[in-house]
Amino acid sequence: MRPLMRLATSARRRIVPRRCSAGPVSAGRPGERGAALVIAILVLAILTVVGIALMLVTSTESRIAANEWSVNRAFYASDAGIRWASAEMTSPRVFLVRPEFTASPFGSVLFRMPSHRNGATFFSGDPTESDIQVRVQTPSLVGRRPYRGGKLNEGAEKAQFMWAYEVRTTGGENDAFLQYSKALVADIEVGPRPARAQ
Protein backbone atom coordinates (compact mmCIF):
# COMPACT_ATOMS: atom_id res chain seq x y z
CA MET A 1 0.00 0.00 0.00
CA ARG A 2 2.80 2.31 0.31
CA PRO A 3 3.34 2.86 -3.39
CA LEU A 4 -0.17 4.13 -3.78
CA MET A 5 0.34 6.70 -1.13
CA ARG A 6 3.28 8.17 -2.91
CA LEU A 7 1.30 8.53 -6.05
CA ALA A 8 -1.51 10.38 -4.34
CA THR A 9 0.91 12.72 -2.60
CA SER A 10 2.69 13.58 -5.80
CA ALA A 11 -0.64 14.20 -7.50
CA ARG A 12 -1.55 16.66 -4.81
CA ARG A 13 1.56 18.64 -5.38
CA ARG A 14 0.84 19.05 -9.04
CA ILE A 15 -2.72 20.27 -8.51
CA VAL A 16 -1.84 22.93 -5.97
CA PRO A 17 -1.56 26.29 -7.84
CA ARG A 18 1.42 28.56 -7.54
CA ARG A 19 1.26 31.47 -5.15
CA CYS A 20 0.55 34.93 -6.76
CA SER A 21 2.26 38.11 -5.79
CA ALA A 22 0.43 40.38 -3.31
CA GLY A 23 0.38 43.50 -5.64
CA PRO A 24 -1.99 44.21 -8.55
CA VAL A 25 -1.43 42.50 -11.83
CA SER A 26 0.16 44.91 -14.37
CA ALA A 27 0.23 44.35 -18.10
CA GLY A 28 3.07 46.83 -18.68
CA ARG A 29 6.39 47.45 -17.08
CA PRO A 30 6.65 47.50 -13.30
CA GLY A 31 7.63 51.30 -13.22
CA GLU A 32 4.35 52.46 -14.92
CA ARG A 33 2.04 51.92 -11.94
CA GLY A 34 -0.19 55.03 -11.31
CA ALA A 35 0.48 56.74 -14.68
CA ALA A 36 -3.23 56.74 -15.57
CA LEU A 37 -4.05 58.68 -12.41
CA VAL A 38 -1.45 61.35 -13.18
CA ILE A 39 -2.71 61.70 -16.77
CA ALA A 40 -6.32 61.98 -15.57
CA ILE A 41 -5.37 64.75 -13.10
CA LEU A 42 -3.47 66.64 -15.83
CA VAL A 43 -6.46 66.42 -18.21
CA LEU A 44 -8.79 67.68 -15.47
CA ALA A 45 -6.44 70.59 -14.73
CA ILE A 46 -6.32 71.55 -18.42
CA LEU A 47 -10.13 71.38 -18.73
CA THR A 48 -10.48 73.54 -15.61
CA VAL A 49 -8.18 76.21 -17.06
CA VAL A 50 -10.09 76.17 -20.36
CA GLY A 51 -13.41 76.49 -18.49
CA ILE A 52 -12.18 79.46 -16.46
CA ALA A 53 -10.86 81.15 -19.62
CA LEU A 54 -14.21 80.70 -21.37
CA MET A 55 -16.01 82.11 -18.35
CA LEU A 56 -13.81 85.24 -18.42
CA VAL A 57 -14.31 85.70 -22.16
CA THR A 58 -18.08 85.43 -21.76
CA SER A 59 -18.21 87.99 -18.95
CA THR A 60 -15.97 90.35 -20.92
CA GLU A 61 -18.18 90.03 -23.99
CA SER A 62 -21.30 90.84 -21.97
CA ARG A 63 -19.59 93.94 -20.53
CA ILE A 64 -18.57 95.03 -24.03
CA ALA A 65 -22.17 94.60 -25.23
CA ALA A 66 -23.50 96.66 -22.30
CA ASN A 67 -20.99 99.44 -23.00
CA GLU A 68 -21.88 99.44 -26.70
CA TRP A 69 -25.56 99.70 -25.81
CA SER A 70 -24.92 102.71 -23.56
CA VAL A 71 -22.73 104.46 -26.13
CA ASN A 72 -25.39 103.92 -28.80
CA ARG A 73 -28.01 105.44 -26.50
CA ALA A 74 -25.78 108.48 -25.98
CA PHE A 75 -25.25 108.80 -29.75
CA TYR A 76 -28.97 108.66 -30.50
CA ALA A 77 -29.67 111.17 -27.73
CA SER A 78 -27.16 113.53 -29.31
CA ASP A 79 -28.71 112.90 -32.72
CA ALA A 80 -32.09 113.80 -31.24
CA GLY A 81 -30.58 117.14 -30.17
CA ILE A 82 -29.38 117.79 -33.73
CA ARG A 83 -32.81 116.97 -35.13
CA TRP A 84 -34.54 119.15 -32.55
CA ALA A 85 -32.24 122.08 -33.40
CA SER A 86 -32.86 121.51 -37.13
CA ALA A 87 -36.61 121.66 -36.59
CA GLU A 88 -36.31 124.79 -34.42
CA MET A 89 -34.02 126.53 -36.93
CA THR A 90 -36.83 126.92 -39.44
CA SER A 91 -37.24 130.32 -37.81
CA PRO A 92 -33.72 131.20 -36.66
CA ARG A 93 -34.59 134.61 -35.22
CA VAL A 94 -36.98 133.09 -32.69
CA PHE A 95 -34.67 130.18 -31.93
CA LEU A 96 -31.49 132.20 -31.43
CA VAL A 97 -33.10 134.58 -28.91
CA ARG A 98 -34.00 131.84 -26.46
CA PRO A 99 -33.01 132.84 -22.89
CA GLU A 100 -30.60 129.91 -22.65
CA PHE A 101 -28.64 131.21 -25.64
CA THR A 102 -28.71 134.91 -24.80
CA ALA A 103 -27.60 134.48 -21.18
CA SER A 104 -23.99 133.90 -22.25
CA PRO A 105 -22.07 133.60 -25.53
CA PHE A 106 -21.65 129.89 -24.84
CA GLY A 107 -25.19 129.21 -23.70
CA SER A 108 -26.86 125.88 -24.17
CA VAL A 109 -30.26 124.26 -23.90
CA LEU A 110 -30.45 121.22 -21.65
CA PHE A 111 -33.38 118.87 -21.77
CA ARG A 112 -33.84 115.47 -20.20
CA MET A 113 -35.61 112.42 -21.54
CA PRO A 114 -36.76 109.14 -20.00
CA SER A 115 -34.92 106.03 -21.10
CA HIS A 116 -37.92 103.71 -20.74
CA ARG A 117 -35.70 100.95 -19.40
CA ASN A 118 -37.41 97.61 -19.15
CA GLY A 119 -39.16 96.89 -15.88
CA ALA A 120 -41.26 93.81 -15.21
CA THR A 121 -42.47 93.84 -18.83
CA PHE A 122 -41.13 95.46 -21.98
CA PHE A 123 -41.10 99.27 -21.95
CA SER A 124 -42.73 99.46 -18.55
CA GLY A 125 -40.14 101.84 -17.13
CA ASP A 126 -41.05 105.03 -15.34
CA PRO A 127 -41.90 107.71 -17.98
CA THR A 128 -41.02 110.48 -15.52
CA GLU A 129 -37.37 109.39 -15.35
CA SER A 130 -34.76 111.72 -16.76
CA ASP A 131 -31.68 109.57 -17.05
CA ILE A 132 -30.83 110.69 -20.60
CA GLN A 133 -29.79 114.29 -21.07
CA VAL A 134 -29.20 116.26 -24.25
CA ARG A 135 -27.35 119.57 -24.38
CA VAL A 136 -27.63 121.79 -27.47
CA GLN A 137 -25.10 124.61 -27.66
CA THR A 138 -25.73 128.00 -29.23
CA PRO A 139 -25.67 127.57 -33.02
CA SER A 140 -22.95 129.58 -34.70
CA LEU A 141 -23.29 131.18 -38.10
CA VAL A 142 -20.97 129.58 -40.65
CA GLY A 143 -21.92 131.54 -43.75
CA ARG A 144 -24.41 131.96 -46.53
CA ARG A 145 -24.75 131.11 -50.18
CA PRO A 146 -27.11 132.32 -52.87
CA TYR A 147 -30.35 130.40 -53.11
CA ARG A 148 -30.70 128.63 -56.47
CA GLY A 149 -33.71 129.84 -58.29
CA GLY A 150 -34.08 132.77 -55.92
CA LYS A 151 -33.41 136.42 -56.45
CA LEU A 152 -29.69 137.04 -56.75
CA ASN A 153 -29.53 140.81 -56.49
CA GLU A 154 -27.33 141.12 -53.43
CA GLY A 155 -27.95 144.81 -53.14
CA ALA A 156 -31.70 144.41 -53.25
CA GLU A 157 -33.71 143.98 -50.09
CA LYS A 158 -35.36 140.82 -51.40
CA ALA A 159 -32.23 138.82 -52.27
CA GLN A 160 -32.51 135.24 -51.05
CA PHE A 161 -29.78 133.17 -49.42
CA MET A 162 -29.30 129.85 -47.69
CA TRP A 163 -27.80 130.42 -44.24
CA ALA A 164 -25.52 127.76 -42.75
CA TYR A 165 -25.25 127.22 -38.99
CA GLU A 166 -23.06 124.88 -37.03
CA VAL A 167 -24.93 123.05 -34.25
CA ARG A 168 -23.13 121.13 -31.51
CA THR A 169 -24.95 118.69 -29.27
CA THR A 170 -23.95 116.30 -26.53
CA GLY A 171 -26.09 113.39 -25.44
CA GLY A 172 -25.40 111.09 -22.54
CA GLU A 173 -26.52 109.00 -19.63
CA ASN A 174 -27.42 110.86 -16.46
CA ASP A 175 -26.67 107.89 -14.21
CA ALA A 176 -24.33 107.43 -11.26
CA PHE A 177 -22.78 104.28 -12.73
CA LEU A 178 -23.06 104.88 -16.47
CA GLN A 179 -21.17 107.99 -17.49
CA TYR A 180 -21.28 107.96 -21.28
CA SER A 181 -21.65 110.87 -23.64
CA LYS A 182 -21.40 111.42 -27.36
CA ALA A 183 -20.90 114.76 -29.08
CA LEU A 184 -22.08 115.53 -32.60
CA VAL A 185 -21.49 118.54 -34.82
CA ALA A 186 -23.78 119.23 -37.77
CA ASP A 187 -24.08 121.96 -40.36
CA ILE A 188 -27.67 123.02 -40.88
CA GLU A 189 -28.80 125.10 -43.84
CA VAL A 190 -31.77 127.37 -43.35
CA GLY A 191 -33.52 129.16 -46.11
CA PRO A 192 -34.29 130.70 -48.38
CA ARG A 193 -34.06 133.76 -46.16
CA PRO A 194 -33.56 137.45 -46.95
CA ALA A 195 -30.03 138.86 -47.06
CA ARG A 196 -30.22 140.58 -43.69
CA ALA A 197 -32.17 137.95 -41.78
CA GLN A 198 -30.07 135.44 -39.92
73-90 pLDDT, tens digit per residue, is 888 888 888 888 888 888
Which pLDDT value is given to residue 74?
84
Residue at 106 is within a domain? yes
For residue 116, the model assigns a pLDDT of 59
pLDDT at residue 70, as a whole number: 78
Residue 155 resides in a domain: yes
| Domain assignment of residue 95, given as a range | 57-194
The predicted model gives 112-139 an average pLDDT of: 67
In a domain, 77, yes or no: yes
- For 179: left if phi > 0, alpha if psi spans -120 to 50, otherwise beta; the answer is beta
Which burial class, exposed, middle or buried, applies to 180 when counting CB atoms under 10 A from its CB (0-12, 13-18, 19+)? middle
The total number of structural domains in the chain stands at: 1
- Answer yes or no: is 116 within a domain: yes
Asked whether residue 142 is domain-assigned, the answer is yes
Residue 158 included in any domain: yes
Domain assignment present for 16: no
Pick from 13-17, 45-49, 56-60, 174-178 the range whose average pLDDT is largest.
45-49
Stretch 51-56: mean pLDDT: 92
Query: Quick check: is 89 in a domain?
Result: yes
Q: What is the pLDDT of residue 52?
A: 93
Q: Which residues contact 23 (CB under 8 A, 6 or more apart)?
A: none
32's enclosing H/E stretch is none
> Average pLDDT of 121-145?
73
Average pLDDT, integer, range 19-36 = 62
Most confident of 46-50, 65-69, 100-104: 46-50
Res 114: pLDDT: 67
The reported pLDDT for the residue numbered 107 is 78
Q: Which of 40-49, 131-140, 172-181 has the lowest mean pLDDT?
A: 172-181
pTM: 0.59
